[in-house]
Structure 1
Amino acid sequence: MKRRLLIMSVGILVIVVLTMLSFVPAYAQAEVPKTIKIGILVSFTGPDAMIGKPAEIGYEMAVEKINKGGGVYVKEYGKKIPLELLIMDMETNPEKAVARAEVLNQRKASVVCGTTLMSATSDIFEKNKLPAITSLVTNVGLFERGFKYYFGISKMNDGIVDAIFAAFANIPKDQRPSRWAVWEEQSDWIAELFNLARKKAPANGVTFVSHSKYPMLARDMSPLIFAAKKAGAEVIFSAPVPPDCIMMLRQMRELGYNPKGIIMIRGSDDPAWAKMTGPMGDYVIGCPDWHPALSCPGVKELNAEYKAKFGKRTHIVVGNAYASIQIAAAAIEKAGTLERSKIRDAIAGIDTMTVFGRIKFNNKGRRIDAPPVVTQWQKGVMEMVWPNDMKTKKLVYPIPR
């Protein structure tokens, strides 16, 4: 009898508990985190410092806007949760970039966004199954490795080459230059860039009549200049850091070499270019990822906010960074959880509009159809000269003398 009463009592208790739980939402059973941690990897020191602070501003502006609306809705918890940035300095050092990536994993970041030297961290994110959204990482070979947790929103080296050739193809055929010289900095990603350019050049009617290499921060660029001048090169194609750009331009002027076109990817992408170079930097061509004249949703509002805060035109790196946070937020909401593997799956299948255009990825984590932006400095202003339907000015060729 006692045993029967005990069994009945236990049964009633179980029914009561289950009934009570049925009225408790699933999200109330898990502890709601105070914030969603987003790791940020940028460089505030070393050669990449020129983009570190503007990138940080872009990340912060995006988070500020999202958090004003309460944060990102996470279905698992049934509420919006604000974003928190965990910002770390890579110091333009690959080893420190790797170490910082490990720290962000230990600090339980749900996603990591960052620039340039995140190229050194791909294996870390893959090992830790931590989703990473990169910008300004352009190595085609890196993404050909087929990582699952590593995504890039920038145009890759092949996209840079295609954009440059497309911009020049818009020049009337009888004026279009065919004799180009390459000035190649001795670094891996630039070696890949110019290997791709060599392969694509014949189909674009271009012959590289001179191909010279130099170490970063070389003190004398005259061997490159003499080789290009002797070969009769009409266009210089290069990707130097700003100090090397200045050295090249000064020595070209001193040695009386006046090519009809000068392409300086990377160095001329710095908005401080006009101050650094003065009039000799006019008509130099660059190939940044983003430009404040892009006709993408939210760009006008971003430009207005940036102008109100800083009193100047939006830095070209701000757009990449802002879009990275938009992607991370959209993926977290789509995943409905802070579980990294599900966030990764959401990023892989994402199709969303940002201030950097529509974002979709192929099966290797490369962005599909990144904007083929090409710029040219004209009268101290970085004008967008390609793509044709978004240009702010027409490409000036040849350089007026």
Structure 2
Amino acid sequence: MKKVLHKAGVAGVIIMVLILLLAALPACGGGPEVPKEIVLGTTIGLTGMGAGFGQGGAFGLKAAVDDINKLGGVYVTEYDSKLSVKLVILDNESDPAKAGTLTEDLLVNQKANFLLSPPQWPPFIAAMATVAERYQTPFVAFAGPFEPNNALRMAAGPWKYTWESGFAIGAPPPPGDFRNIPGYTMMDLWMAFLGKYAGQTNKIMGAFASDDPDGRGWYEAFTGALTAAGFTIIGKDKELGIAPLDTTDFTSIIKEWQNNKAEILIGNAPGPWFGTLWRQARTLGYKPKMVIAERAAMIYSDVNAWGGDLPWGVTALVEWVPSIKAPGIGDTTPESLDARWKAETGLPTHQLVGSAYGQVQILLDAIERAGTLDKQKVNAALAETDLMTIRHRAKYDENQFSRFPICFGQWFKTSGPQVWDFKVIYSQHDFYPPTAEPIFPLP
């Protein structure tokens, strides 16, 4: 009897184990368990010095995710199913140190499958990329200028999981690249535009830059190129015009430009930093004939905060305008995306909305082509990207960088509720036609 009971007990245990094993298997024919959703994570400066960038960037990411979810999500072959997409955005308060910490939180606590970023300054991209490498997680980012971002990439090892988009300051594309034509580097634009008006100036320049990787990268690249082109840069040998991010008094710098009769002012810095410099310059009576303020003069909320008529006639690059003929997700077009932004915010066109939207298109396309959420396979698919996005054609080069076309814009005063309008004044692309004649000299 004991043997019978023992055998019955063993059989019961075996049956129980089999039941548990069967219960653990997915319901659909033993295939892989279908995830609830794909989680995309990002950390953006929604407050602080970079908030002007962050507001439009966050909107662009959300709009793209909303659009794909309206279509039922992303089809993933491994699950023979469409998966919805969840976007998690954490505010890094425009602090690169917090960007790194929050990126880890996205991967560990928020369970993000992949990382992405709208246009942000190089230190923020680097902070996120460092964490992405540690966790071997694909990271798709609009990084802006190639030179400072690539310097950070190479210094790090380079990064294998970070895929950046943007433009170059002066570095040409690799030989044979379809973008090896005018309109993909800032020097193309500057030299062509300056060539139209340099003869009406003394060709003496004041150069400025915030003392961060973005500012220094620009300063080093453009001062050398402009000197070679016959312009005189005041104080270039002592880096005149480079100042810390917390600088509040630019008097000594401005007076050197003034004393040397610099008729062109050119540089790169955050909007609030340049706003302080420019306000002090005008107070001191310094009024150059032309001002090119990269980064600082790209966003309406940044220039509007300068006050008075300070934005009038200031120029900067244009990354995206809704007149471009390029596809969104579903029935979204650049025009309809811009209309959604204006309806929700009451603000004029924000050029980083399209740049951010395009990053989601790139990442979702790679996931669909990979047919899986496996990070290594998605990373391999990103290397093969060749996609028309709402920002234009995306294709990564040997540096894992995709160049996008750019043009040149200027701030015009209006009589409407939004006092300032950023118009295209010079372009080397048929799909980015100029919409206004340049103001020269400054009003």
- What is the match of residue 86 of structure 1? 88
Per-residue deviation, 1:89: 1.9
Which AA in structure 2 matches 1:48?
Answer: G
The within-5 A match list for 1:252-401 is 252-272=281-301, 273-274=303-304, 276-297=306-327, 298-368=333-403, 370-379=404-413, 380-388=420-428, 389=430, 390=432, 391-400=434-443
Map of 1:21 onto structure 2 = none
Q: Is the 8 A contact 1:265 1:288 kept in 2?
A: no
Instruction: Choose the corresponding residue for 2:232, options 196, 199, 207.
Output: 207
2:39–2:86 contact (8 Å) kept in structure 1 = yes
Corresponding residue of 2:42: 40
Distance change in 2, residues 1:263/1:88 (3 Å): same
* Distance in 2 (alpha carbons) for counterparts of 1:173 and 1:221: 26
Q: Retained in 1: the 8 A contact 2:297–2:315?
A: yes
Q: Determine if the alignment matches structure 1 residue 222 to structure 2 residue 256.
A: no
Partner of 2:308, secondary structure, is helix
Superposed displacement of residue 312, structure 1:
3.7
Which amino acid is the alignment partner of residue 398 of structure 1?
P
Tell me which of 146, 149, 167 is aligned to 1:155.
167
In 1, Cα distance between the equivalents of 2:114 and 2:29? 21
Q: Report the CA distance between 1:153 and its aligned residue.
A: 1.3
Question: Residue 216 of structure 1: CA displacement?
Answer: 2.0
Asked if structure 1 preserves the Cα contact closer than 8 Å seen for 2:201 and 2:289, the reply is no
Instruction: Determine whether 1:76 maps to 2:111.
Output: no
| Maintained 8 Å contact 2:126/2:153 | no
Partners of 2:257 and 2:278 lie apart in 1 by 14
Cα deviation, residue 253, structure 1: 2.0
Query: What per-residue deviation string (whole Å, max 9, x for no partner) do you get for residues 186-207 of structure 1?
Result: 2232112111112322443323
1:10-49 superposed matches below 5 A: 29-49=31-51
- 1:291-333 Cα deviation digits (max 9, x unpaired): 3343433212212333343344332221121111111111111
| Aligned residue number for residue 16 of structure 1 | none
- Corresponding residue for 2:7? none
| Range that drifts further, 38-47 or 244-253 | 244-253
**Once the 2 structures are TM-superposed, how far is the Cα of residue 134 of structure 1 from its aligned partner?**
1.3
The 1:317/1:354 distance shift into structure 2, 3 A limit, reads same
Partners of 1:225 and 1:27 in 2: how far apart?
A: 73
The 3 A distance-change label for structure 1 pair 284 and 245 is: same
Report deviation, 1:163: 4.7
Match of 2:134 in 1: 127
Partner AA of 2:113 in structure 1 = S
Q: How far did residue 177 of structure 1 move?
A: 5.9
TM-aligned CA deviation for residue 339 of structure 1: 0.4
Q: Secondary structure at the match of 1:33?
A: coil
Q: 1:170 to 1:223 in 2, by over 3 A?
A: same
Gaps of at least 5 residues in structure 2 are 1-25, 171-183, 328-332, 414-419
Q: Which moved more, 1:322-331 or 1:91-100?
A: 91-100
Give, as a single letter, the amino acid of the residue that structure 2 aligns with 1:205: G
Q: Partners of 1:372 and 1:177 in 2: how far apart?
A: 27
Kindly indicate whether the alpha-carbon contact (under 8 Å) linking 1:167 and 1:374 is maintained by their aligned counterparts in 2.
no
Is 1:186 paired with 2:211? yes
Taking structure 1 as the reference length, what is the TM-score of the superposition?
Answer: 0.86
For the residue of structure 1 that corresponds to 2:324, the secondary structure is coil
Residue pairs, 1:93-172, within 5 angstroms: 93-106=95-108, 107-114=110-117, 115-116=120-121, 117-138=124-145, 139=148, 140-144=150-154, 145-158=157-170, 161-171=186-196
- Residue deviations 1:120-171 (CA, integer Å, cap 9, x gap): 2322212211011112453231234542211111224446642552452451
Give the Cα–Cα distance (whole angstroms) in 2 for the partners of residues 177 and 38 of structure 1: 51
Range with bigger deviation, 298-307 or 332-341: 298-307
Following the alignment from structure 1 to structure 2, what is the Cα–Cα distance between the partners of residues 311 and 44?
18
SS in 2 for 1:220: coil
Supply the AA of the counterpart residue of 2:336.
Answer: E
Secondary structure of the 1:121 match is helix
- Where does structure 1 lack aligned partners over 5 or more consecutive residues? 1-23
Distance change (3 Å), C-alpha of 1:170 and 1:76? farther
Kept after mapping to 2: 8 A contact 1:27/1:78: no
Hey, what's the Cα distance between the residues in 1 that align with 2:436 and 2:46?
33
Judging changes above 3 Å, is the alpha-carbon distance between structure 1 residues 214 and 133 closer, same or farther for their aligned structure 2 residues?
Answer: same
Q: What TM-score do the two structures reach when normalised by structure 2?
A: 0.78
Q: Matched residue of 2:396: which SS?
A: coil
Q: Evaluate the alpha carbon distance shift between residue 96 and residue 312 of structure 1 in structure 2; reply closer, same or farther with a 3 A threshold.
A: closer
The alpha-carbon distance between structure 1 residues 88 and 163, as it changes in their structure 2 partners (threshold 3 A), is: farther
CA distance in structure 1 between the aligned counterparts of 2:372 and 2:300, rounded to whole angstroms: 39
CA distance in 2: counterparts of 1:163 and 1:48, whole angstroms: 27
In 1, the alpha carbon distance for the partners of 2:308 and 2:143 equals 26
**Are 2:210 and 2:270, in contact at CA under 8 Å, matched by a contact in 1?**
no
Q: Distance in 2 between matches of 1:51 and 1:27?
A: 48
For 2:218 and 2:345, how far apart are their aligned partners in 1?
34
Question: Contact conserved, 1:217 with 1:243, CA < 8 A, in 2?
Answer: no
Shift of 1:387: 1.9
Q: Give the superposition deviation at 1:26.
A: 9.0
The secondary structure found in structure 1 opposite 2:319 is: coil
| RMSD over aligned Cα atoms | 2.4
Task: Note closer, same or farther for the CA distance 1:236–1:330 as it changes in structure 2 (3 Å cut).
Answer: same
- Structure 1 letter corresponding to 2:421: V
Taking a change above 3 Å as real, the CA distance of residues 229 and 366 of structure 1, as seen in their structure-2 partners, is same
Asked if 2 retains the 8 angstrom alpha-carbon contact of 1:293 and 1:392, the reply is no
SS at match of 1:217: coil
Query: Residue 146 and residue 68 in structure 1: after superposition, are their counterparts in 2 closer, same or farther (change >3 A)?
Result: same
Give the SS at the match of 2:326: coil
